[in-house]
């Protein structure tokens, strides 16, 4: 079984333009990290599900979901949300409570309001809010105590034009990579009674494999080069397709219309795109036991774009040492992966040994 060194994993993945030379303090104040979840649709106004648009500060998503359940006197399972949002910031997101019946029977949601929770809107909808329902997230990020602007302008421009590697963020792997330890145990044959814990382990394992694959292609200088066996994804949709390796597809890559994809390990057989290319199989050869283990657990193979291109990328200097970034990201991608190509961040909320 392949052995991992979880404490070393963040530094192992390659940068496109080399490791940043600048450092910055991140999340020193709540307003330094702001997220606004975009549903991508408008709730209908009627139905069994009460949708709540909530802005929260220093509040865990799951904790607030449990508060909503208690306030509505329903089971925690009747409260859903599209995505987890970081506690350490100001985050606006949607929750839904399955509450069939007359509107007059609803609790007074404003009673939950506090200095940390603001109820912006309450509206009913006919469908449940599932995980991954939202379309995108809008971010406002402030980086502080930057000592020098050397090479930052070039990196800022490159990120806006070319994008960054679409790595899974550090949070996917848990504090100090602990989710990889779970993955190691799971893929060594241990079975977890807690299905949620097992899901975390499987997700961490194949996210790690994807990052390894992407890092290898960056090292080979072909992460944005069409290669035999590649599948591609349009920048504004999820629909993997195959194309001949020619000038036409390379031009679409260069114009950021499409991006090559990387294989997400799992059970193959659902179409050609579920199988790794020869290049991908070679890159992940030393992890064959992990790959076989994920397939045995019936996790379906998938594909993910190698490139992450921020939407409406903007920046401004608040003063000589504070940089503010504004951008959007499609769901399933990470702001930390964008910041990684720009500066080394010092986050007071990260735990280290």
Q: How far is CA 322 from the centre of its chain?
A: 25
Bridge partners of residue 117, in order along the sequence? 56
Closest-CA residue to 343 (of 89, 137, 159, 171): 159
Bridge partners of residue 234, in order along the sequence? 258
Rounded Cα–Cα distance for residues 166 and 223 (Å): 10
Closest-CA residue to 138 (of 335, 337, 338): 335
- DSSP SS3 for 352: coil
Question: What totals of helices (H) and strands (E) does the chain contain, helices first?
Answer: 9, 16
User: In which residue are the tokens 């070679």 written?
Assistant: 282
Rounded Cα–Cα distance for residues 303 and 229 (Å): 13
- DSSP SS3 for 165: strand
Characterize the bridge pairing of strands 117-125 and 49-57.
antiparallel
Rounded Cα–Cα distance for residues 283 and 152 (Å): 32
User: Quick check: 76 and 88 in contact, CB under 8 A?
Assistant: no
**CB atoms near residue 226 (< 10 Å):** 21
Q: Respond yes or no: is residue 86 known to be catalytic.
A: yes
The continuous run of DSSP H or E covering 38 comes out as strand 33-38
Rounded Cα–Cα distance for residues 54 and 40 (Å): 16
User: In which residue are the tokens 């848990």 written?
Assistant: 174
| Catalytic hit among 86, 194, 230, 254 | 86
- CB contact set of 150 (below 8 Å; sequence gap of 6+): 21, 22
- CB contact set of 283 (below 8 Å; sequence gap of 6+): 212, 213, 216, 217
Annotated catalytic sites, by residue?
A: 86
């Amino acid at each position: 079984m392949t052995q991992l060194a979880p404490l070393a994993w963040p530094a192992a993945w390659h940068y496109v333009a080399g490791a940043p030379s600048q450092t910055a303090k991140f999340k020193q104040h709540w307003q330094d990290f702001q997220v606004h979840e975009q549903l991508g649709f408008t709730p209908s106004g009627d139905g069994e599900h009460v949708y709540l648009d909530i802005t929260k500060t220093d509040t865990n998503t799951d904790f607030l979901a449990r508060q909503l359940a208690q306030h509505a006197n329903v089971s925690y399972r009747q409260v859903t949300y599209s995505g987890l949002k970081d506690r350490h910031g100001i985050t606006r997101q949607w929750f839904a409570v399955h509450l069939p019946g007359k509107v007059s029977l609803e609790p007074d949601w404003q009673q939950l309001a506090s200095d940390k929770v603001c109820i912006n809107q309450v509206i009913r909808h006919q469908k449940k809010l599932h995980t991954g329902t939202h379309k995108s997230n809008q971010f406002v990020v402030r980086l502080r105590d930057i000592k020098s602007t050397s090479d930052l302008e070039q990196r800022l421009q490159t990120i806006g034009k070319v994008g960054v590697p679409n790595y899974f963020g550090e949070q996917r792997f848990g504090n100090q990579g602990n989710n990889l330890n779970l993955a190691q145990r799971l893929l060594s044959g241990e079975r977890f009674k807690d299905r949620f814990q097992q899901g975390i382990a499987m997700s961490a394992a194949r996210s790690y494999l994807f990052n390894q694959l992407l890092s290898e292609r960056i090292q080979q200088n072909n992460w944005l080069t069409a290669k035999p066996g590649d599948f591609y994804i349009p920048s504004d949709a999820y629909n993997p397709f195959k194309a001949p390796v020619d000038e036409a597809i390379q031009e679409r890559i260069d114009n950021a219309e499409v991006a090559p994809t990387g294989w997400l390990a799992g059970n193959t057989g659902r179409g050609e795109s579920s199988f790794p290319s020869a290049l991908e199989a070679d890159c992940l050869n030393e992890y064959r036991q992990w790959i076989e283990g994920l397939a045995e657990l019936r996790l379906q193979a998938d594909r993910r774009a190698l490139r992450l291109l921020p939407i409406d990328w903007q920046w401004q200097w608040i003063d000589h040492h504070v940089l503010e970034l504004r951008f959007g990201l499609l769901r399933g991608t990470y702001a930390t992966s964008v910041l990684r190509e720009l500066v080394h961040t010092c986050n007071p909320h990260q735990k280290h040994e």
